[in-house]
Amino acid sequence: MAETTRIEAPQGASRISVKESRDVLLKPQAVFALQGVGKSFGRAQVLTDIAFSVQPGERIAVIGPSGAGKTTLFRLLSAVLKPSSGRVLTLGCDTCALRGRALRRLRRQIGVLYQNDNLIPHLRVVHNVLMGRLGDWALARALLSLLWPQELAKAKEALARVELADKLWSMPGELSGGQQQRVAIARLMVQQPRVMLADEPVSQLDIRLGREIIELLCTLATSLGTTLLVNLHTLELLHGNFERVIALRQGRLFWEGAPAAISRELLQELYGAEYRALHLDDVSLNSGS
Ligand SMILES: Nc1ncnc2c1ncn2[C@@H]1O[C@H](COP(=O)(O)OP(=O)(O)OP(=O)(O)O)[C@@H](O)[C@H]1O
């Protein structure tokens, strides 16, 4: 093992070696780092011994059969749930150690997009988009904004980027499913989170609209330099959009690698009985198999 030189730290500070400090400098802080993570609900063990890390700016798809634990994993990453065992470090914070204001501050840096119900139905599109600013506004300003939208130019700009400039004053119920997802993405643009977690964002949409939404999310993540994790059921959308795939099966990390490395055999083993039901034979793989 290489010898390392010790630096004398001031009293009260932790000591780190030259080698360690060089490693820290070379490697930006991971957005997520999971070590031996387990999650159980009562006696049901849902996740077991999960370990991986995510670096800033990565675009990752999480795949796996129904019930594999993908949504539970996303809820652990966003600090909505705490692990039953192991450690989840989100943006450098141990989620188990956070409470109250510190926990809310961490969650504000994470933008979440769900399958549906992303919008508040009785608020106009403009207010739904400006919800992305709530974390930075005092309560008085947030209330005033409901009467007199604050930072209107930001909302307009974000809606223009998702090609919904003309829907500024619409109610969510007047929009299609795909348009509602685009409004939710405009809210993420206004929020500018450090990381975006999208939990099955296109499951309710047909493949064409799903592709549009995934491409929009990936373009946004790339242009803002934001880390993006998507829980993805539509495997046709992996290629060209994601750099890395994390596959879960029965609550365990089954495989991780580049989309191009996914083979038909891997999918058969990963999805088991669901492979046929999901018509995964029809999914074209980069390897051509
Ligand atoms: N709050 C909870 N209490 C009890 N069991 C839960 C809870 N949340 C999830 N589970 C169980 O954990 C398992 C994994 O659920 P999860 O929703 O994380 O899977 P998933 O991979 O996202 O599935 P899908 O693709 O079908 O949405 C399931 O068996 C589910 O019933």
- Whether 229 maps to a domain, the answer reads no
Distance of CA 234 to the CA centre of its chain: 16
Q: How far apart are the first and last CA of the chain?
A: 43
CA 69 / ligand 1 centre spacing (Å): 6
Does residue 57 sit within a domain?
no
Instruction: Show the low-confidence residues of the chain (pLDDT under 70).
Output: 1-28, 286-289
In a domain, 130, yes or no: yes
| Minimum CA distance residue for ligand 1 atom 12 | 46
Q: Which atom of ligand 1 is nearest to the CA of 199?
A: 22
| Strand-pair partners of 52 | 34
Find the 72 Cα to ligand 1 centroid distance in Å. 6
| b (16+ CB within 10 A) / e for 133-163 | beeeeeeeebeebeeebebeebbbebbebbe
For ligand 1, whether the C-beta of 67 sits within 6 Å is yes
Which residues lie closer than 8 Å to 10 by C-beta, 6 or more apart? none
- Can you tell me the distance from the alpha carbon of 72 to that of 182, in angstroms, rounded to the nearest whole number? 24
Domain total in the chain: 1
Is residue 127 in some structural domain? Answer: yes
**Binding site membership of 41 for ligand 1 (Cβ less than 6 Å):** yes
Write out pLDDT tens, residues 148-196: 888 889 999 999 988 899 999 999 999 998 899 889 999 999 998 999 9
The answer to whether residue 177 is domain-embedded is yes
Q: What is the pLDDT of residues 21-53, one digit of tens each?
A: 444 444 558 999 999 999 999 999 999 999 999
Query: Which pTM value belongs to this model?
Result: 0.83
Residues ≥6 apart with Cβ < 8 Å to 92: 29, 30
Protein residue closest via CA to atom 5 of ligand 1:
41
Q: Judging by beta carbons within 10 Å of its beta carbon (0-12, 13-18, 19+), is residue 252 exposed, middle or buried?
A: middle
Specify if 213 maps to a domain.
no
* Mode of pairing for the β-strands spanning 110-113 and 252-257: unpaired
In a domain, 206, yes or no: no
Residue 182 within a domain: yes
Domain boundaries, position 139: 117-192
Q: State yes or no: ipTM above 0.90.
A: yes
Atom of ligand 1 nearest to the CA of 68: 21
Distances (CA, A) of 98 to 27, 83, 91, 154: 25, 13, 12, 31
Q: Which amino acid is at 118?
A: N
